[in-house]
Amino acid sequence: MLFDRNSQEESKYLDPIFGNEHESQDLPKYKFANESVQPRVAYQMVKDELVDEGNARQNLATFCQTYMEPEATKIMAETLDKNAIDKSEYPRTTELENRCVNMIADLWHAPENEHFMGTSTVGSSEACMLGGLAMKFAWRKRAKKLGLDLNAHKPNLVISSSYQICWKKFCTYWDIELREVPLDKDHLSLNMDKVMDYVDEYTIGIVGIMGITYTGQYDDIAKLNDLVEEYNKTTDYKVYIHVDAASGGFYTPFMEPDIDWDFKLKNVVSINASGHKYGLVYPGIGWVLWRDKKYLPEDLIFNVSYLGGEMPTMAINFSRSASQIIGQYYNFVRLGFAGYHDIHLRTHHVAEYIINEIQKMGRFNVVNGAEHLPILCYSLKDNLNQKWTLYDLTDHLRMRGWQVPTYPMPEGLDNLVVQRIVCRADLGMNNAVELIEDMKAAIHELDNSKLINDSSQIHTKQNKPKKYGFTH
Ligand SMILES: *Cc1c(COP(=O)(O)O)cnc(C)c1O
């Protein structure tokens, strides 16, 4: 008998999901339910829990990839079962990871006469941890040799105050002083006139940022390299640069090959990037590379078994799926240099359209109009005859599904409140036109809002502006 209409089990299974007994089932929140449910029911119930969530494609707050093509998703879904750390069990996966490292090393101009090392990570945060740890261990080795009293002071890391939160974590976890070079209105990136004042013999390294989270701007790494070169001539306590290229690492090489920021610069010893930002892979994948193995102290390398032998690994995590690595390699194969260039160029055009339209609205000062990365950042003009703030605009865009964060700039400039739009590959020109229409409508609504215009200020002390995430 193939199919029995009267079978209790079958009819239960074929029932439409809405209006049947399962719909009234409470989803477990604190305790395991006593009984199991059918996969289809579980799928629908869990999926339904997520319906009123933000739509990822309209999330203009994140740098992270929100679209991959069906073939990419397919190969990633098919490889979710592979554990990236099982090098022996999945030697071909290991080979693909190594090929990615080779290709990225080439993209970032690793010199041929040095021996680069690199690894995939869960994201830039893990990559920065590893880059930072390597700097700390290498510094300790050098300083010890020179007879420095390692206990007299905490080691320190120098970075602009617009660092991403992972550097604060790094310093907290590994007991390092975070030395922030503050921004000011004339220096929206690392202040080159001041940075070397923060360096001393306890400095484990300086971090330059290619794609400042707050604004999308770049630190001037070439200039920093020159300053470090001069500094190192004057002391035995050498200092080197790590570049946090979480968003620029997979953008600049394709779009702005004339900018010197990578291993072409002698004092740049390590670089990280997020594969899940402009590397165009779903989260989470990141990469960190060292220009030469001498900058990656051996204490940080652990061997895992690999084809009867051993293979060096450096990672904070152990088990994780290899599917993101495979997704990254898929993108490299599929897109090639031209593909990355074309996608980023199109995204850049979209960003230019949006910022031009925003400028025409006459209300905003542009802080970053996609000079490099397709990231837009603007503040409200002073002396506007209007009561609403950027926080109100964020709320009103949110009503139309768009997530566009508003937040204060970091230390030194924290009286400046900005709004930011991160343009990604899946924000097409049609979406951009819609966004601008929605923005105009929101502004019209705010200008005419009785609530806002009658109350002295909608965001009073008791009613603080909502915080939306913007740190990734
Ligand atoms: C996003 C970002 C990070 C953190 O990257 P994840 O890949 O999300 O862990 C670190 N630094 C900068 C500059 C970033 O933009």
Task: Please state, in angstroms and rounded to a whole number, the distance separating the CA atoms of residues 97 and 86.
Answer: 12
- Give the model's pLDDT for residue 306: 77
- Give the model's pLDDT for residue 105: 98
Tally of CA atoms within 13 A in the half-sphere of 136 that contains its CB: 20
Could you identify the atom of ligand 1 that is nearest to the CA of residue 123?
7
CB-based contact 276:285 (threshold 8 Å): yes
CB-based contact 160:209 (threshold 8 Å): yes
* Higher per-residue confidence, 86 vs 130: 130
The two most distant CA atoms of the chain are separated, in Å, by 89
Q: pLDDT, tens digit, for every residue of 178-218?
A: 999 999 989 999 999 999 999 999 999 999 999 999 999 99
Question: Where does the pLDDT of residue 17 fall: very low under 50, low under 70, confident under 90, or very high at 90 and above?
Answer: low
Spacing, Cα 195 to ligand 1 middle (Å): 22
> What average pLDDT does the structure give for the chain?
91
Window from 36-45, 62-71, 320-329, 458-467 with minimum mean pLDDT: 458-467
Is 219 touching ligand 1 by the criterion CB < 6 Å? Answer: no
Task: Please state, in angstroms and rounded to a whole number, the distance separating the CA atoms of residues 297 and 279.
Answer: 28
Q: What is the dihedral of CA 332, 334, 338, 340, to 10 degrees?
A: -60
* Beta strand pairing call for 417-422 and 241-244: unpaired
Could you identify the atom of ligand 1 that is nearest to the CA of residue 276?
7
Closest of 92, 93, 117 to residue 105, by C-alpha: 117
Q: pLDDT, tens digit, for every residue of 261-296?
A: 999 999 999 999 999 999 999 999 999 999 999 999
Q: Tokens at residue 449, please?
A: 């809002």
Task: Please state, in angstroms and rounded to a whole number, the distance separating the CA atoms of residues 31 and 45.
Answer: 16
Quote the radius of gyration of the chain (alpha carbons, Å): 25
Spacing, Cα 246 to ligand 1 middle (Å): 5
> What value, to the nearest 5°, has the Cα angle with vertex 72 and ends 59 and 65?
20
Confidence (pTM): 0.92
**Is residue 99 within a helix (H) or strand (E), and if so which, with residue range?**
helix 91-107
Is the domain spanning 73-332 CATH 3.40.640.10? The answer is yes
For residue 42, give the amino acid letter. Answer: A
Q: pLDDT, tens digit, for every residue of 225-250?
A: 999 999 999 999 999 999 999 999 99
CB-based contact 159:199 (threshold 8 Å): no
CATH code given to domain 338-453? 3.90.1150.160
Whether 388 shows a pLDDT value over 70: the answer reads yes
Is 246 touching ligand 1 by the criterion CB < 6 Å? Answer: yes
- In sequence order, what are the beta bridge partners of 417? 408
- Give the model's pLDDT for residue 460: 47
Q: Count CB-CB contacts under 10 A for residue 272.
A: 29
CB-based contact 189:217 (threshold 8 Å): yes
* Higher per-residue confidence, 104 vs 20: 104
Mean pLDDT computed over 90-111: 96
DSSP label at 17?
S
Is 131 touching ligand 1 by the criterion CB < 6 Å? Answer: no
Mean pLDDT computed over 40-66: 90
CB-based contact 371:212 (threshold 8 Å): no
For residue 139, give the amino acid letter. Answer: W
Task: For the chain, report the end-to-end CA distance as a whole number of angstroms.
Answer: 56
> Residue 94 — φ and ψ, nearest 5°?
-60, -40
Q: Concatenated DSSP letters for 184-252?
A: BTTBSS--TTTGGGG--TTEEEEEEEBS-TTT--B--HHHHHHHHHHHHHT-SS---EEEE-TTTTTTH
Mutation probe of ligand 1 site: the residue of 166, 242, 281, 324 with most atoms within 8 A of C-beta: 166
Closest of 324, 327, 328, 311 to residue 86, by C-alpha: 311
Is 472 touching ligand 1 by the criterion CB < 6 Å? Answer: yes
Spacing, Cα 285 to ligand 1 middle (Å): 11
Is 373 touching ligand 1 by the criterion CB < 6 Å? Answer: no
Percent of the chain with pLDDT over 70: 91
Closest of 2, 263, 214, 238 to residue 109, by C-alpha: 263
Whether 346 shows a pLDDT value over 90: the answer reads yes
Domain extent listing, the chain: 73-332, 338-453
Task: Please state, in angstroms and rounded to a whole number, the distance separating the CA atoms of residues 179 and 160.
Answer: 8
